[in-house]
Structure 1
Amino acid sequence: MRPPGFVAALGPTVVVAPHPDDEALGCGGLLALLRQANVPVAAVLVSDGSMSHPNSALFSATARRAVREAEFRHALTLLGLDDDAPLLLGLPDGRVPSSVAEPRFAEAVAQLRAFLEKHAAATVLVPWRRDPHPDHRATSRLVQAALAEMPQPPRRLEYLVWAWERAAPEDLPTAQDDVQGFRVNIEAGLRQKGRAIAAHRSQVAPGVFTDDADGFLLSEAMLAHFAVPAEVYFEAVAP
């Protein structure tokens, strides 16, 4: 278990979230610790977040996107970040491009690289490369492509979201991945993390988009994985 003081070694950090709430779920405690230590942190939101409740008649796709973006900005402030400076890529929720052959992939990679350079990122936080959600995997590939274009890429730490609930054996790290896993003590940031998760009101019961019975809500079992005073990260190591 790495102590809270570990964050001082990370330097200016950029967190990349596939959807609004991933930043709070996967690494909200670490983000809170970074800001408590006055380490600069900036955020990227990859998708537009509009598909958690696609059958809502009361909220159009545009309205759903606005609600979720507002929740994202609110969660950032609760974690100590600036809510008016995130990079919003606005890629389609559920269809984030994952290769250069897909529309908007190259554009998103260029935007990510420019944002990382603008903030002089020493560390980037990104979903685990095989986190079992297609947008999470696509986000990992976008970041990987952006880092490949940088002469001195930042340190890359990979966080878990859906692997806690849905990971198949092949989704988990193997010796071929050349990654090291570790935990960080986030007890000092746990309360902020909990408040940031709760700020995503549309994703926790009773929700906001209440006219879509088949819409997504985070289950109590899922939320329990993120109510503990530690977060897990993976980092590539030299072979």
Structure 2
Amino acid sequence: MTATTASPFSSYPIRLAATAAALGPTVVVAPHPDDESLGCGGLLALLREAGQPVWCVLVSDGTMSHPNSQAFPPAARQALREQELRDALSILGVESTALLTLQLPDSQVPLPDTPAGFAAVQQLQEFLREHQPATLLVPWRRDPHPDHRATSQLVAAALAGLPAAPQRLEYVVWAWERATPAEWPHPEEVVGWQLDIRSVLEQKQRAIAAHRSQLPGSPIQDDPTGFMLAPSMLAHFQAPTEVYLEAPHP
């Protein structure tokens, strides 16, 4: 049995779309441009539909998706992917000004115990103090991508330094395709549920499509080894639900 077919995600109970409004002002932390749309684009659209403020923190610079491109050197790749993120957020109803970019190195997001990681933690703390979100969306702590795991640790370190932490919801990206049983959530550590996003699914799909450099027909044509979201991966994010994991209540 493969990790995908055996994963627990599709068995989680489904909560109504109205659940989103109760989450209040929300910050989504995305390791790369596109994680926000893939993992929680539906929730972001529902939050904005309900009039809740939403902000986004982009952790990495996104430049390693096509590292061998000459037509798009690193600065151009970063600019392209950041603009794609802004376009996706706009589709989801999030204002372009509601974005903090940490510009950490793609594929090498540092941990909190490094100088660069410590500086990122300080930036995160300042951002959270300024906006006072009720909910924080962050990648699943064992999502099988090093940048996603590092992002989770940066966020945990930032929250540990705050007097009152927001509710933390973890979203799933690569665990759908690549997680081993050891990387799946354990019942004692989190409660898993699915959010009904049928009413905004078309919006989510348009936001994913805004990340055109990661899809067939990418404007970056001169790096045949560059990253592309595979159809099997995208299929998980065409579902009418999104998966969230939260700490169990005492």
TM-score scaled by length of structure 2:
0.93
1:152 alignment partner, SS class: coil
Q: Which residue of 1 aligns with 2:109?
A: 96
Does the 8 A contact of 1:10 with 1:123 survive in 2? yes
AA partner of residue 98 (structure 1): L
**Residue 201 of structure 1, aligned match among 192, 209, 212:** 212
Return the offset for 1:219: 0.7
Map of 1:56-95 to 2, 5 A cutoff?
56-95=69-108
Aligned to 1:30: 43
Counterpart check, 1:166 vs 2:155: no
Partner of 2:33: 20
Query: How many residue pairs were aligned?
Result: 237
Aligned partner of 2:196: which letter?
N
Partner secondary structure for residue 30 of structure 1: helix
Preserved CA contact (<8 Å) 1:49 1:65: yes
**Residues 98 and 137 of structure 1 are in contact (CA less than 8 Å); yes or no, is this contact kept in structure 2?**
no
Alignment-derived partner of residue 219 in structure 1:
230
**Which amino acid is the alignment partner of residue 176 of structure 2?**
W
Pair 1:147 & 2:147 matched: no
Distance 1:98 1:192 in 2: 34
Task: Give the deviation of 1:117 after TM superposition.
Answer: 1.6
Give, as a single letter, the amino acid of the residue that structure 1 aligns with 2:237: F
Question: What's 2:57 paired with?
Answer: 44
The structure 1 residue matched to 2:136, chosen from 121, 124, 134, is 124
Distance 2:226 2:135 in 1: 34
- C-alpha distance in structure 1 between counterparts of 2:26 and 2:120, whole Å: 19
Residue number in structure 2 paired with 1:187: 198
Deviation at 1:238, TM superposition (A): 4.0
Q: Specify the code of the residue in structure 2 equivalent to 1:182.
A: W
Q: CA deviation at 1:220?
A: 0.8
| Unmatched 5+ stretches in structure 2 | 1-13
Deviation at 1:114, TM superposition (A): 1.1
1:160-179 deviation per Cα after TM superposition (whole angstroms, max 9, x unaligned): 00001100111101245x20
Mapped contact 2:209–2:215 kept (Cα < 8 A): yes
Is the CA contact 1:126–1:156 (under 8 Å) kept in the aligned structure 2? Answer: yes
CA contact (8 A) 2:41 2:92 kept: yes
RMSD across aligned C-alpha pairs, in angstroms?
0.9
Whole-angstrom distance in 1 between the partners of 2:98 and 2:16: 29
Is the CA contact (8 Å cut-off) linking 2:63 and 2:77 kept in structure 1?
yes
Who is 2:8 aligned against? Answer: none
Partner of 2:5: none
- Counting aligned pairs with the same residue, the percent is 60
Instruction: Specify every segment of 5 or more residues in structure 1 that has no aligned partner in the other structure, as ranges.
Output: none
How many Å separate the matches in 2 of 1:225 and 1:175? 22
User: Are the counterparts in 2 of residues 96 and 135 from structure 1 also a CA contact under 8 Å?
Assistant: yes
* 1:51 match: secondary structure: helix
